[in-house]
Amino acid sequence: MAKTWILDTETKGTGANMVPLEKALAKRSAEQDLAVVTLEGPPAPPRPVQPPAPLSFRIVDVRSSQVLADRVDARAAVEVLEDVGSVVDIRIYVWAPLRERWRLLTLEEQKTLWGFRGRTEPSAAAGAPR
């Protein structure tokens, strides 16, 4: 039976050598793969779970640039929306505490809040804290 020879190019500066295929395959299987080391830091301390803060809204009339409500909760915001003619006449903002700024609600979000009009009972005292 004839031997199959291959050109072994993994020599050190002396050029390539012809070696039997069986010897080249045995050499490759004898080589070990590099070990993979994963470094792990200390476990992160568990964060205390805090309930999200209640949303705070600001409602601005587009036509007059008048602030209709500032820093009100959702119920008070819906009550203010009762007196507004159209959802496009106002801009509704929500306070983003992580970024510490007001975020304008998208039109879909404004329409969702707008959809709650007429579903809430008016509060006994509009100015009373809740």
Nearest to 52 by CA among 101, 104, 97: 97
pLDDT of residue 23: 79
Q: Is the dihedral of CA 60, 62, 63, 65 positive or negative?
A: positive
Radius of gyration, alpha carbons of the chain: 36
pLDDT < 50 positions in the chain = 125-130
| Alpha helices, H only, 54-104 | 74-81
Count CA atoms within 13 Å of residue 86 on its CB side: 4
- Three-class DSSP category at 80: helix
Rounded CA gap, 65 and 126, in Å? 22
Q: For 76-99, write each residue's pLDDT tens digit.
A: 999 999 999 999 999 999 999 989
pLDDT of residue 120: 65
